[in-house]
Amino acid sequence: MSRVLVTGGGGFLGSHLTERLAREEHDVFVARRRDYDLTRWEDAERLFTDAQPELVFHLAAEVGGIGANRANPGRYWYANLMMGAHVLELSRIHDVRKVVFAGTVCAYPKFTPVPFSEDDLWNGYPEETNAPYGVAKKSILVGAQSYREQYGTNAIYLLPANLYGPRDNFDLESSHVIPALIRKMVEATGEVVLWGDGSPTREFLFVDDCADGLLLAAQQYDGAEPVNLGTGVETSIRELAETIADLTGFDGELVWDTSMPNGQPRRQLDASRAERLFGFRAHTPLREGLSRTIAWYRDDVAAHAV
């Protein structure tokens, strides 16, 4: 049993991870933004004093879809950089046994060869609409590797694919593509307008599979190199939209607004390093995960909004 701190533990991924940790009888300290603003050193310092962790999962982030990234480039760069830097430095000061950082696929260069290999992470600049966020998160990888070299800090860095699942953010102003599509199609009475032309591809990882990967890495991986967490399955946004329409029973028209940006052209991860180093393999097919997410949304969000 370990004393575990989960930053962002009240959020989407964090809530699933903390449930898993509690089931395994770890002593979990959940850090929520309303209690600790990790962009402020004083709050971050107070958190570590309160939590006294042996193991830290840093999942807290300020993030959203293309629209939110375009509206908040400065904030997303600053907030994510400062939160990660504070967690890393305080983990050193408090002699934390291990720190697990959740990075982002947005850190990869815009035209990374598919599938994305961790070795290509520095071979170009990220896609413009989410570059400030991606660069900030990638800077934490540099910090983790530097602290390992100078101080012996056991900090590992994981790169999950696009996450989805129950408890995701369904706010249309800041949500990612899957929750936005689900909400639009559940609520729609006519056409649904979608950004871009539907041609970009993404890789989607069910949140429970990601929680499995985080735990496996915490237990079995102690290396300096970044590691992808994904399914290895590439899906176009058009195919995704058509699948969600089918699963929600939406029979209206899908209208593609090509005046709006597509975002990064392609995303698919090479997940072989995670399987080789700590035995991670995703188990939830996209259609099954979407069905579970839609059912949760209808039961827990849409039903209570009536």
Catalytic residues, by residue number, are 133
Question: Dihedral sign, CA of 210, 211, 213, 214?
Answer: positive
Asked if 152 and 95 count as a contact pair (C-beta separation under 8 A), the reply is no
User: Residue 84 is inside which H or E element, if any?
Assistant: helix 73-93
Among the listed residues 117, 250, 277, 256, the one whose alpha carbon sits nearest the alpha carbon of residue 199:
256
Can you read off the two tokens belonging to residue 56?
């830290």
Contact 268, 200 (CB under 8 A): no
For residue 228, the one-letter residue type is: N
CA atoms of 179 and 176, how far apart (whole Å): 6
> Rounded distance, CA 86 to CA 92, Å?
10
Coil, strand or helix: which one is 131?
Answer: helix
How far, in Å, CA of 137 to CA of 149, rounded?
A: 19
Bridge partners of residue 7, in order along the sequence: 31, 58
* Angle subtended at Cα 198 by Cα 192 and Cα 203, rounded to the nearest 5 degrees: 110
Question: One-letter amino acid identity for 161?
Answer: A
DSSP 8-state class, residue 111: T
Q: Parallel, antiparallel, or unpaired for β 235-236 and 201-202?
A: antiparallel
In residues, how long is the chain?
306
Q: How far apart are CA 106 and CA 128, in angstroms?
A: 10
